[in-house]
Amino acid sequence: MIRFVTDEHECKQLWDTFSPHERAWDEWELMAAFHDEAVFRFNFVAHETDGVTDGLIPLVLNTANGRHELFGGSYPDSRVLWIDTQHFPEYFDQLPENTVFFDLRGSWADGLLTMHPQYEPNFVDRDIQYFLVPADFDYDFVNHINTFSNGKRKGFLRDLRRLKEQDVQLIWNDEDESDLLISLSVKNFGDESDHAQEDGKAEVKRVVRELKNLGYLRTLTVIVDGVKQATSLSAHFKKTWVALYAGSNNDIDNLGKLLNSETIQESCRLKVDEINYMTGMAWKAAWHMKENPCRTMRKPAKTMTAES
């Protein structure tokens, strides 16, 4: 039997019951920071067998566009549904029209589709989550850079060296630099910035504030000639590192390269098992990061045009 749960307190109880608490995305408090109470409504989907709840899809309604999504929205990646996959048809039949589950873990989705191939048209959208395993390069990013082609490696190290020869300071702490991140993003991308609108700014501020409250926040601030010119805001959760947000002044050559290199090097110093660089952006593949496929589920299935 399928039942929908709209009470926030009961939703949290169900979440705490089914979450494996393995990744940052499994933590209610962090996901609640992505959840704008003015926009989202709880509509969790619970499966019961003989009166016992044995599966959960943490569904919410996005009232801004009438779409149902997973709790936490579209930003978190490589997620799985906490269900017995043999029950998926029961869930799917009860899901509201216009439901989207962004960036599900590809291996999990592939397993589900092996069991239920009729849903393949609902999983056509694909993306890549990029990550690094520091143990692969003995916890020193320079060893990873050495896997680049000879010319690329020399150019990469030269660019970093030249930038560091300037008046550059690197400051690691747990400070909330969301205002700096937002200002850099808007400077670089204008109206195209994810943080140009008030809702985008508010989300970043909520998430960074909660990361700090939880003790997960690791902040790198880069100061050039006495001025803050770049920042990365990461989540250090257990033995994983999530590179959540980063921004740098695009007018300073190679500053973004330095920011990401030093962020990776810090996570190596902390001996994490994995650095999650999330989805999108071609530079991650160019840096020889590992890849995890992701698949997005849509109900109804995406309409394919002649062009696509």
Same domain, residue pair 100 and 150: no
96 in any annotated domain: yes
Report the DSSP pairing between strands 240-248 and 274-279: parallel
Same domain, residue pair 110 and 17: yes
Residues comprising the chain, all counted: 308
Same domain, residue pair 97 and 186: no
CA distance to 70, 154, 157, 262, per residue, from 166 (Å)? 45, 19, 15, 16
Omega within 30 of 0 (cis) for the link into 134: no
281 in any annotated domain: no
290 in any annotated domain: no
283 in any annotated domain: no
Q: How confident is the model at residue 308 (pLDDT cuts 50, 70, 90)?
A: very low
Same domain, residue pair 149 and 90: no
Q: What percent of the chain has pLDDT over 90?
A: 90
Q: Among 126, 146, 175, which residue terminates a domain?
A: 126
Q: What pLDDT, in 10s, does the model give residues 138-171?
A: 999 999 999 999 999 999 999 999 998 889 999 9
Same domain, residue pair 74 and 146: no
Same domain, residue pair 60 and 154: no
As a whole number, the mean pLDDT across the chain is 95
296 in any annotated domain: no
Q: Among 126, 156, 181, which residue terminates a domain?
A: 126
Task: Count the neighbouring beta carbons within 10 Å of the beta carbon of residue 167.
Answer: 10
Same domain, residue pair 108 and 202: no
Same domain, residue pair 35 and 97: yes
Same domain, residue pair 256 and 139: yes
Q: What pLDDT, in 10s, does the model give residues 233-255?
A: 999 999 999 999 999 999 999 99
Range of the domain at 75: 2-126
246 in any annotated domain: yes
Same domain, residue pair 163 and 238: yes
Q: How confident is the model at residue 306 (pLDDT cuts 50, 70, 90)?
A: very low
* Residue 197 reports pLDDT greater than 90: no
Three-state secondary structure of the chain: CEEEECCHHHHHHHHHHHCCCCCHHHCHHHHHHCCCCCCEEECEEEEEECCEEEEEECEEEECCCCEEEECCCCCCCCECCECCHHHHHHHHHHCCCCEEEEEEEHHHHHHHHHHCHHHHHHHCEEEEEEEECHHHHCCCHHHHHCCCCHHHHHHHHHHHHHHHCCCEEEEEECCCCHHHHHHHHHHHHHHHCCCCCHHHHHHHHHHHHHHHHHCCEEEEEEEECCEEEEEEEEEEECCEEEEEEEEECCCCCCHHHHHHHHHHHHHHHCCCCEEEEEECCHHHHHCCCEEEEEEEEEECCCCCCCCC
Q: What is the pLDDT of residue 280?
A: 86
Say which range, 125-129, 197-201, 212-216, has the weakest mean pLDDT.
197-201
Query: In angstroms, rounded to a whole number, what is the distance separating the alpha carbons of residues 7 and 87?
Result: 23
Q: What is the pLDDT of residue 307?
A: 43
CATH code, domain with 35: 3.40.630
293 in any annotated domain: no
Residue where the block lists tokens 């959760």: 237
Number of structural domains in the chain? 2
Q: What percent of the chain has pLDDT over 70?
A: 98
pTM value?
Answer: 0.92
Same domain, residue pair 143 and 265: yes
CATH code, domain with 201: 3.40.630.30
Q: Among 109, 126, 143, which residue terminates a domain?
A: 126
299 in any annotated domain: no
* Residue 304 reports pLDDT greater than 70: no
Same domain, residue pair 185 and 166: yes
